[in-house]
Amino acid sequence: MSDGIGGPLDPVRGRGADPSCFAQLNRRGFLRQSGWYVALVGCGLLTARGAAALTNSSVFSARSLQEVIAALDGVAASGSDVLLKVPELVEDGAVVPVTLSSDLPDVEALYVIVEGNPSPLAIAVKIPDGTDPMISVRVKMAKSGRVHGVVKTAGTLYSAATDVGVTVGGCA
Partner 1 sequence: MAQPIRIRARHKDGKTEVLILMPHPMETGLRKGDAGAVVPAHYITDVVVKAGERVVLEAQLSIAVSKDPLLSCRFRGGVPGDRIQVTWTDNMGNTRTDEALIG
* Separation between Cα atoms, residue 40 and residue 123, nearest integer Å: 10
Q: Minimum distance from CB of 156 to partner 1 (Å)?
A: 20
Q: Report whether 79 contacts 89 (CB < 8 A).
A: no
Q: Report whether 6 contacts 138 (CB < 8 A).
A: yes
Question: 63 or 126, CB closer to partner 1?
Answer: 126
Q: Minimum distance from CB of 76 to partner 1 (Å)?
A: 18
**DSSP classification of residue 78:** B
Question: 10 or 91, CB closer to partner 1?
Answer: 10
Binding interface with partner 1 (CB under 8 A)? 5-12, 18, 20-22, 24-26, 28-29, 32-33, 35-36, 39-40, 43, 45, 94-96, 99, 114, 117-128, 130-132, 134-140, 171
Question: 62 or 160, CB closer to partner 1?
Answer: 62
Q: Report whether 67 contacts 143 (CB < 8 A).
A: no
Q: Minimum distance from CB of 88 to partner 1 (Å)?
A: 18
Q: Partners of 156 in the beta sheet?
A: 153
Question: 8 or 63, CB closer to partner 1?
Answer: 8
Going from the C-alpha of 7 to that of each of 74, 96, 132, the distances in angstroms are: 33, 11, 29
The DSSP element (H or E) to which 37 belongs, if any, is helix 34-42
Q: Minimum distance from CB of 98 to partner 1 (Å)?
A: 10
